[in-house]
């Protein structure tokens, strides 16, 4: 009886260890698209603060993604997307105010 309990416990622990978080492909894709959109409106020039923040979050997220630290990568991809969207919107607004053609 004791060995059965040990076996069941071992099997449960083994199966629990096999559960993994899915790769955050959607967050990765959205962050990448937001970075490219911000780049296309010269956010690095017009909204440097948000741009560099987005770039740094994205860089760190990609490292974590490659290391399969998916939960942390997901959070950073979301932060990268948000910062890139702010950079894009800010750059568009500043370019419009300055009369620069988009």
**What are the domain boundaries of the chain?**
22-98
pLDDT tens, position by position, 15-58: 555 557 899 999 999 999 999 999 999 999 999 999 999 999 99
Instruction: Evaluate if residue 61 carries a pLDDT over 80.
Output: yes
CATH number of this structure's domain 22-98? 1.20.1270
pLDDT band of 12, cuts 50, 70, 90: low
pTM for the model stands at 0.78
CA distance 53 to 99: 26
CA distance 96 to 46: 11
Mean pLDDT of the chain: 89
CA distance 49 to 72: 23
- CA-based nearest residue to 73, from 30, 15, 18, 19: 30
Confirm if 91 and 41 have CB atoms less than 8 A apart.
yes
């Amino acid at each position: 009886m004791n060995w059965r309990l040990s076996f069941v416990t071992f099997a449960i622990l083994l199966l629990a260890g096999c559960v993994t978080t899915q790769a955050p492909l959607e967050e990765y894709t959205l962050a990448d698209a937001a970075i490219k959109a911000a780049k296309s409106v010269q956010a690095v020039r017009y909204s440097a603060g948000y741009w560099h923040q987005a770039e740094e979050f994205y860089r760190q997220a990609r490292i974590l993604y490659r290391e399969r630290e998916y939960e942390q990568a997901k959070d950073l991809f979301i932060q990268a997307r948000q910062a890139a969207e702010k950079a894009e919107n800010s750059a568009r607004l500043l370019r419009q105010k300055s009369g620069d053609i988009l």
